[in-house]
Amino acid sequence: MIYLDYSATTPTNKEVLNTFVKVSNDFIGNPNSLHKLGIESKKIIDSATEQIKKILNVDHEVIYTSGASESNNMALKGIAMRYHNRGNHIITTNFEHSSIVAPLNHLQKQGFKVDFVTTDEYGRVDIGALEKLINQETILVSIGAVNSEIGIEQPIEKIATLLKKYPNVFFHVDATQAIGKININYQDVDLISMSAHKIYGIKGVGMLLCKNGVEIEPLIHGGKSTTKYRSGTPAPALSVSLAKALRLIHEDFNYKYNQVAELNAYLVKELSKVEGISINHNQYTIPHILNISVLGIKPETFQHALEERDIYISTQTACSSGSGISNSVLAFTKDEAKARSSVRISLSYLTTKDEIDILIQEIKNTKEQLSLKCN
């Protein structure tokens, strides 16, 4: 099997899984309980929380969630409901994940106004255009650090610097595709979302980092927890496993990045030679994600053809609506044909050169066979 869908999810690191099992067995107390077992469970969560903040170099409150989708919903709806008395205007981009788009659509039905900031020829936010969109009603800017389909890295630090001029405007960053892959300074970002299963952690846990002094309206009420913003019995094993996954992915960080970058460069070089394949990337796309359009062939058809060869890639993001067209690729390329034929190859430091060589050959074979059928 050749797995090249790491941006959808990653295999759980065995060390992370072992930590989850050990904490589950050794810390059985409810962290809300006042007896010794409860206090021990609370202490191990607190320790994990401090470790997370240290690794990411932030002093934000750590709100443990079920994953990035919940975190994104909590950030957008939480800010909107808490600060609606200040204004009803939100700014985002055309490159956001469905867990950003859907809650924004919901908020629009509640009377909020959403604007999409202009991006430059590289798909990156135009800082000047963003500032022009800000008005007295603006309460939130939500921009993903890295687009999940194409891998475009946004200028998060520059945006955060701009927004410091507007103290009534909060800045939310969906960092799901960034954390563990690239380094970004998040100190001036108000709210940060991520999921453990993107960094070789366990599915079902993520977090929302909330800057001190920022208030949000909770999505879940009732029941004591580690934070007033999300009720429910704290889960020590999930929290500690998230911290463990985060620590492990940051070990040998530059080595892992360079390994992926080399594989990406080689893959781009070889696929550029194949007629009928358009590579949707530029100097601002991170090497972990490579989006290509196999012109004239439906992405699902191409994906399943590779699956028959035990090679696994994706079409749109795993959480997309399945509309048949990639809105992100359309916004990036301005080409509907490319947007209707795009697939995503996502790489990992676990990916080998031999796997990439097999992938390249099978892409050529698959394209040729499917093209013959189409003719």
Supply the residues annotated as catalytic.
Answer: 319
User: Rounded to 5 degrees, what angle do the CA atoms 5, 7, 9 make?
Assistant: 75
Q: In this structure, what DSSP letter does residue 61 have?
A: E
Distance in angstroms (rounded) separating the CA atoms of residues 210 and 83: 15
Alpha helices in 142-252 (DSSP H): 156-163, 236-249
In which order are the strands placed within the sheet that holds 138-142?
A: 61-65, 206-210, 191-195, 170-174, 138-142, 89-92, 113-116
Tell me if 366 sits within 8 A of 309, measured CB to CB: yes
Question: Which residues lie closer than 8 Å to 245 by C-beta, 6 or more apart?
Answer: 13, 16, 196, 199, 200, 201, 202
Residues 88 and 111: beta-carbon distance below 8 Å: yes
Q: What angle do CA 231, 236, 238 make, to 5 degrees?
A: 90
Q: How does strand 206-210 pair with strand 191-195?
A: antiparallel
Integer Cα distance of 71 and 78 in angstroms: 10
Question: Which residue, 278, 263, 295, 257, is CA-closest to 333?
Answer: 278
The residue type of 315 is: T
